[in-house]
Amino acid sequence: MKILLTGAGGDVGRRLRPMLRQAYGEIRVSDRDPLPDLHPGESFVAAELSDPVAVARAVEGIDGIVHLGGFSVEGPWPVLLKSNIEGCYNLFEAARAAGVKRVVFASSNHAVGFYPREQTIGPAVPVRPDSRYGVTKAFGEALGALYADKFGLRVTCLRIGNVGDAPIDRRRLAIWLHPADLMQLVRIGLEHPDIRYEVLYGASDNARGWWDNQRARDLGYRPQARSEDFAAAVLARVEAPDAVGDRYQGGAFCSQEFGAGPSGD
């Protein structure tokens, strides 16, 4: 398969690139600005996601896309609109026009961040975004469903928790995703014959997790990393309390600008 990775200059993109090269040989990488660390086996195409012509050039001749590109935190609506709404539409539309077969879309746990931590949720729950950023990820999931059902793209949306070498706080004990486990999920999205449209959770084997990821397991996902291996060290750290964020799965994204009153629901 000829693979395009958008957002290749970001932290998650840099972690995925060597694994994608190993799995698929030469890959195409894209970001808004040139990459200072381009490796053998990578070809680069600059593309601002809000520029449909540049995005069309990036996806030309590609079989599968791993779409990490966009604005990755909460921010002003005009910025999110340009990168995560217009840019996401441009990506899916260019993929359709170019005959791309599969898209793996990096959604986020923040699309469902206002579920309480004591509730276990699966992929079929209604979205409850915790931020404007979360709204853009919910939009991307909906857009992926449209392009799967109407145009035949095979789309996998990964509600990613937090990607890193280890969980660094209590919340991340529930949502941590090791890069190698993320690569497993990416390969399922790019290769599994039964994929049409799926929403899966991006989490490792986390005993304290809040998400029912049985569908990912049905598709062959076998996470190897365990957040509990780091629990003693994480729980020994002192964390500042957050009266709102500590209640909800989205954490601090929920407490930002929070004005719902004492009940919160």
Residues with a catalytic annotation lie at 133
Q: CA–CA separation, 208 vs 196, rounded Å?
A: 30
Tell me the three state secondary structure of residue 28: strand
Tell me the three state secondary structure of residue 189: helix
Backbone CA torsion sign across 185, 246, 167, 10: positive
CB atoms within 10 A of CB 36: 6
Q: CA–CA separation, 47 vs 55, rounded Å?
A: 6
By the 8 A CB rule, do 190 and 66 touch? Answer: yes
Give the pair of three-digit tokens for residue 227.
């957040």
Tell me the three state secondary structure of residue 211: strand
By the 8 A CB rule, do 229 and 246 touch? Answer: no
